[in-house]
Amino acid sequence: MDASFVLLSGDGIGPEIVSQAKRVLQLVSDKFGHKFRFDEHLIGGIAIDETGDPLPQATIDACRASQAVLLGAVGGPKWDDPSAKTRPEAGLLRIRKELQLFANLRPIRPFAELLDASPLKREVVEGTDILFYRELTGGIYFGPSSCEDLPGGQQRATSTMVYETFEIERIFRLAAEAARSRRGKLTMVDKANVLEVSRLWRRVCGRLASSEYCDLDYDVVLVDAMAMHLISRPSSFDVVVTSNLFGDILTDEASMLPGSLGMLPSASVGANGPGLFEPIHGSAPDIAGKGIANPLATILAAAMMLRHSVGLQQEADAVEAAVQAVLAAGHRTSDLARRGEKAIGTVEMTEHVLAALSRQ
Ligand code: IPM
Ligand code: MG
């Protein structure tokens, strides 16, 4: 297969981890006889520094022309000035919108080898296997917003949560199809006891669940209760579908279940066109440049990219199996190492993955 991928390293540890995931993709292409092309482009803070724009047009054009995009992370203290004209995060939000990536898939499945790294008890976390479908191009992230000056030095700011029926239907359908191919359970999370927009979610999802998807075990949970259930009985969920803001918050919470944010990949996809694949962790400016970042989330994101964007199922399985083998052999980066355990660096961890992949 010939495939072309865009690499957007971004800021902080982004370049360190994306370059390592690229090595894994290169080995996959050699081993399985594919031809992968990689194009590197700017996004985030580095793009602001070099072009004044967190998402330059050249980046958008390259992404559109590719099969898929692998992203590191954006942001850092250097660009945190609240009065700045633009922020690195704006580049991320815009690329989601430009590529119409309305569904963000965040799988939460702790590795058996790392269960003791979880802040929760092993017996609570064991058996957890959740796939979040977070709506990504609507809601309060993209609704009208304003900030006006009031008399007496006061200000009034507004952010608006807006959803239309079609936006709810399309994410619901993707989540429902995923539930069908998994354990058949689908949970919709909202705040319908307070928010009008959630009551629309409830009607739209309820109608689809009782017509097109009546084979599924469907239930609804309020977002505050969900925050609780996620740490008291995480293994009782299968597929979870929710809006942009609730999904943002709940997936950060859920990301702690496997012990380290450093292990979790995510995929953002739309109806057609290239998808965007990234680790769910941020740019970790505190450890940037030290060579100690955990590359596994990005390597697993590359595996999701192979599976979801170019249909290379066997190759994706091979990468995931290599990661599993490396963990089983006891290799740990500093975010995973427990007291007394030896921690290895970004490159060394990748080399173990490459070796495990070659051995298969
Ligand atoms: C995420 C991040 C982003 C979001 C930020 C960086 C804009 O938290 O991908 O979850 O809120 O969507
Ligand atoms: Mg987030």
Radius of gyration of the CA atoms of the chain, in A:
20
Query: Are residues 159 and 143 in contact, defined by beta-carbon separation less than 8 angstroms?
Result: yes
Give CA–CA dist 74/284, Å, rounded: 9
The residue contributing the CA closest to ligand 1 atom 7 is 89
Catalytic residues: 141, 191, 224, 248, 252
The residue contributing the CA closest to ligand 1 atom 1 is 248
- Cα(263) to ligand 2 centroid in Å equals 15
* Residue-range domain boundaries for the chain: 1-112+260-360, 129-256
Assess whether the region 1-112+260-360 and the region 129-256 belong to the same CATH fold: yes
Give CA–CA dist 86/238, Å, rounded: 38
**DSSP character string of 98-136:** HTT--EEEEEE---GGGGGGSSS-HHHHTT--EEEEEE-
Give CA–CA dist 247/152, Å, rounded: 37
Q: What is the CATH number of domain 1-112+260-360?
A: 3.40.718.10
Instruction: Walk along the chain (360 residues) and give the pLDDT tens digit of each residue.
Output: 999 999 999 999 999 999 999 999 999 999 999 999 999 999 999 999 999 999 999 999 999 999 999 999 999 999 999 888 999 999 999 999 999 999 999 999 999 888 888 889 999 999 999 999 999 999 999 999 999 999 999 999 999 999 999 999 999 999 999 999 999 999 999 999 999 999 999 999 999 999 999 999 999 999 999 999 999 999 999 999 999 999 999 999 999 898 878 899 999 999 788 999 999 999 999 999 999 999 999 999 999 999 999 999 999 999 999 999 999 999 999 998 888 899 999 999 999 999 999 999
Which element (helix H / strand E) includes 11?
Answer: none
Return the ligand number nearest the Cα of 279.
1
Task: For domain 129-256, give the fold.
Answer: Isopropylmalate Dehydrogenase (3.40.718)
Query: Are residues 190 and 180 in contact, defined by beta-carbon separation less than 8 angstroms?
Result: no
Longest dimension (CA), the chain: 70
Q: What is the pTM of this model?
A: 0.93
Query: Are residues 108 and 240 in contact, defined by beta-carbon separation less than 8 angstroms?
Result: no
